[in-house]
């Protein structure tokens, strides 16, 4: 029986197959390492903007918003490139924006990042409804951010997120209390009504407060106090007094009375009523 003739493949062909297999394994390991590095970094970036010790803090003053306590860590094996772009808004009004530019974070290191945004609060003051909300209610300052990051020299990606901070009312705790009633003469008395509030907003309160007191004894009769120039910086506790000259017997002990108030500020006029007890 004739033997079967076997033809050996050239050594160069087998060598090429081994080289191709080796390159494939190397590429697979590289992609796996890169994917793991990207996963770790992306996960940490997302955590840093939402929960945990890296949760950013917002601090708003009259001209700037500062985002601090933002720590970004590169847990992977490739250099991490990060760029932050941020916008700050109160309500639907865009007050300002800024960016950090490109920040390089070497492997196995972390960086503390602060982002300072110039803000234009005059935009809020020109919006009637927004300013009304800031004056009388707590509002929300929202910070929106877009993060572009890449693992050099392979992958580039981005994501958007945001967080917010409560902003107190500019006229927080606004109250009116009757402090004293003193005789002026045989027919009239002077009623002193204490007025106070705390400015817990990032904008100064500036305007003119008008107050009138409807008569409880005669219809269509009102008593008017002298207008008060109001000015209170952020975080300032403000205290002033409204003074009314009233006929004797107009105020009865234990009764409730209603003040009609008008506040003129930033070209707007806001009117409301407030009660006080004698």
3-state secondary structure the chain: CCCCCCCCCCHHHHHHHHHHHHHHHHHHHHHHHHHHHHHHHHHHHHHHCCCCCCCCEEEECCCEEEEEEEEEEECCCCCEEEEEEEEEEECCEEEEEEEEEEEEECCCEEEEEEEEEECCCHHHHCCHHHHHHHHHCCEEEEEEEEEEEEECCCEEEEEEEEEEEEECCCCEEEEEEEEEEEECCCCEEEEEEEEEEECCCCCCEEEEEEEEEECCCCCCCEEECCCEEEEECCCCEEEEEEEEEEECCCCCCCCEEEEEEEEEECCEEEEEEEEEEC
Is 22 inside a domain boundary?
Answer: no
Q: What is the mean pLDDT of residues 219-236?
A: 92
User: Are both 151 and 217 inside the same structural domain?
Assistant: no
Q: Which CATH number belongs to the domain containing residue 76 in this structure?
A: 2.60.40.10
Q: How would residue 277 be classed by pLDDT, with cut points 50, 70 and 90?
A: confident
Task: Dump pLDDT digits (tens) for 115-162.
Answer: 787 877 777 788 888 889 889 988 887 777 777 766 655 556 676 777
Q: How would residue 224 be classed by pLDDT, with cut points 50, 70 and 90?
A: very high
User: Are both 32 and 140 inside the same structural domain?
Assistant: yes
- pLDDT at position 60: 65
Is 13 inside a domain boundary?
Answer: no
Q: Is the pLDDT of residue 43 over 90?
A: no
Domain of residue 212: give its range. 172-277
Is 6 inside a domain boundary?
Answer: no
Is 161 inside a domain boundary?
Answer: yes
Q: How would residue 194 be classed by pLDDT, with cut points 50, 70 and 90?
A: very high
The domain total for the chain is: 2
Last residue of a domain, one of 167, 189, 212: 167
Last residue of a domain, one of 116, 147, 167: 167
Query: Model's pTM, two decimal places?
Result: 0.66
């Amino acid at each position: 029986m004739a033997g079967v003739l076997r033809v050996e493949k050239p050594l160069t062909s087998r060598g090429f197959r081994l080289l191709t297999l080796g390159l494939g394994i190397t590429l697979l390991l590289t992609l796996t390492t890169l994917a793991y590095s990207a996963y770790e970094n992306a996960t940490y970036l997302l955590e840093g903007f939402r929960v945990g010790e890296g949760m950013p803090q917002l601090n708003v003053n009259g001209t700037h918003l500062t985002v601090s306590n933002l720590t970004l860590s590169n847990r992977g094996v490739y250099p991490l490139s990060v760029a932050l772009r941020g916008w700050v808004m109160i309500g639907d009004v865009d007050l300002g924006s800024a960016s950090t530019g490109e920040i390089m974070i070497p492997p196995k290191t972390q960086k503390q990042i602060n982002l300072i945004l110039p803000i234009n609060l005059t935009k809020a003051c020109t919006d009637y409804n927004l300013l009304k909300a800031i004056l009388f209610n707590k509002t929300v300052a929202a910070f929106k951010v877009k993060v572009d990051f890449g693992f050099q020299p392979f992958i580039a990606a981005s994501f958007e997120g945001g967080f917010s901070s409560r902003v107190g009312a500019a006229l927080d705790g606004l109250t009116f209390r009757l402090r004293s009633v003193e005789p002026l003469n045989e027919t009239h008395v002077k009623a002193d009504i204490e007025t106070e509030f705390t400015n817990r907003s990032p904008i100064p309160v500036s305007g003119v407060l008008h107050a009138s007191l409807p008569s409880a004894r005669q219809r269509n009769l009102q008593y008017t106090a002298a207008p008060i120039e109001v000015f209170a910086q952020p975080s300032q506790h403000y205290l002033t007094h409204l003074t009314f000259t009233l006929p004797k017997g107009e105020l009865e002990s234990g009764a409730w009375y209603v003040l009609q108030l008008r506040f003129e500020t930033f070209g707007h006029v806001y009117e409301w009523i407030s009660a006080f007890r004698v």
